[in-house]
Homo-oligomer: A and B are copies of this chain.
Amino acid sequence: MIEEIEILIEEKKFNDLRRVLESMNSADFPSIFEEVSDDKLIVIYRILSKEKAAEVFAELDSDIQEKLINSFTEKELKDVINELFMDDTVDLIEEMPSNVVKRILKNVKSSDRKIINELLNYPEDSAGTIMTTEFVDLKENMTVEQAFEKIRKIGLQKETVYNCYVLSVDRKLKGIIDLKDLLIAEKDEKLKDIMNVNVITTNTLEDKENVAKMFDKYNFFALPVVDKERRLVGIITIDDAIDVLQEEVDEDFSKMAAVSPSEDTYFKTSVFLHAKNRIVWLIVLMLSSIVTGAIITKYEAAFASVPILVAFIPMIMGTTGNCGSQTSTLIIRGMSNDEIELKDYFKAIWKEFRVAILVALMLGLANSIRILIQYKDIKLAETVSLSLLGTVVVAKILGCSLPMLAKKLNIDPALMATPVISTISDMCSVLIFFKVATWVMGLNITI
């Protein structure tokens, strides 16, 4: 595809080029724009029809958008801005450097400027920042026929015509009506008689993650956003909700891997920023592993008299850490899917306790067999199996408790994921292991 386009540009076959480009989906342009040279990028963009150009523009990454804007005349910029939906304009303004923002605002219709300013002022991560103000609003006393007339007239400029909103004179949300319902209704029926009055809404200040979860639960295409007086101020469409869900997942993965989430994609994040995003957690976790080291040092006499004990440290630490992160991951996911709630704490602990016992028995058995075959040392087998029983139970209980405690304290549970759990369980595992060893083997250690 890219080769074909590049050849058409080089051979100056612009009619063919236009035909190819217009037949493509606008979501296919970003990957092409990433690959071609800046000159070709501008050629491709200028050959598009005005509507297609605006559609494509909204899909692009901010660095490409900036390149294009810098190549635009004021007239071209104005055309693009006025074709964009309000929420895309706001996203653009948030990403651009201040000189570009000035040019954009200069070219926005003055009627839109006020709305844009309002949208820009919603708190970070609130529903207000992802909503659009372009919805179809109808009146209670309209007939179905009048509604169709209005939709035909204004529909093209709206993000969706499939959900329409019925407002009172003072713009309070009275009901919603789907285009489908209008289609099967009689022409002279009044909207107030056929609209759905059980409307689920959100408000401008709601956390956007909660909003996205509502889409997942209710299978909405669009969700109305109201202010304190229940006046309709905007709608959130499903495409924006999906983006929020994806962002949230990316963040959770980052936290599970002890990386501070990055605003940008992998390759667009600089080496320095990558290092910065990772070093903080590494230092924190390193400090705590020093504690584990100190515990081991305390038991120097133990491994001085039974050196084979040291060889079991990685297995005990590793298995305990893995057990803990298995549990914490399942609990964190369960909480973020709203299956596990704080009131389920004891139910979850009881479940994990039983799983821990089963898992520990199997691991202990496997280890005992191996130790008896390899070292023929019953005391060692006892030490390792008993230690595993203790460490696995502790790890599973920690893995269950810490994320739920975090949620209780309004800290993001995902921060309690793998690295934190496994570091804490490291300490516990080493401590339990040496305690059990000194007891089972009857080592005489003075600490």
Residues of A with Cβ closer than 8 Å to B? 23-25, 27, 148, 151-152, 155-156, 161-162, 179-180, 183-184, 198, 200, 215-219, 221, 238-239, 242, 245-246, 249-250, 252-254, 256-259, 265-267, 271-272, 274-275, 278-279, 281-283, 285-286, 289-290, 292-294, 296-297, 300, 303-304, 307-308, 310-315, 317-319, 322-323, 325-326, 328-334, 337, 339-340, 344, 347-348, 351, 354-355, 358-359, 362-363, 366-367, 370, 418-419, 422-423, 426, 430
20 A-B pairs in the complex with CB atoms less than 8 angstroms apart: A24-B198, A25-B198, A148-B183, A156-B184, A179-B179, A253-B256, A253-B332, A253-B333, A256-B257, A257-B328, A257-B418, A258-B322, A258-B325, A259-B330, A266-B348, A282-B326, A286-B363, A317-B317, A318-B422, A325-B418
**Is A257 a contact of B330 with CB atoms below 8 Å?**
yes
A267-B351 in contact given A156-B184, A198-B24, A200-B25 (Cβ < 8 Å): yes
B-chain residues with CB within 8 Å of residue A246 when the two chains form the complex: 216, 245, 337
Chain A, interface SS category: helix
B-chain residues with CB within 8 Å of residue A250 when the two chains form the complex: 333, 337
Of A254, A267, A334, chain B has the most CB atoms within 10 Å of the CB of A267
**Is A322 a contact of B266 with CB atoms below 8 Å?**
no
**Is B315 a contact of A293 with CB atoms below 8 Å?**
yes
Give the Cβ gap from A60 to chain B, nearest Cβ, in Å. Answer: 13
* Ranked 7 nearest A-B pairs via Cβ: A257-B329, A293-B311, A292-B314, A275-B358, A289-B318, A289-B315, A266-B334
| Copies of this chain present | 2
Give the Cβ gap from A344 to chain B, nearest Cβ, in Å. Answer: 7
B-chain residues with CB within 8 Å of residue A258 when the two chains form the complex: 322, 325-326
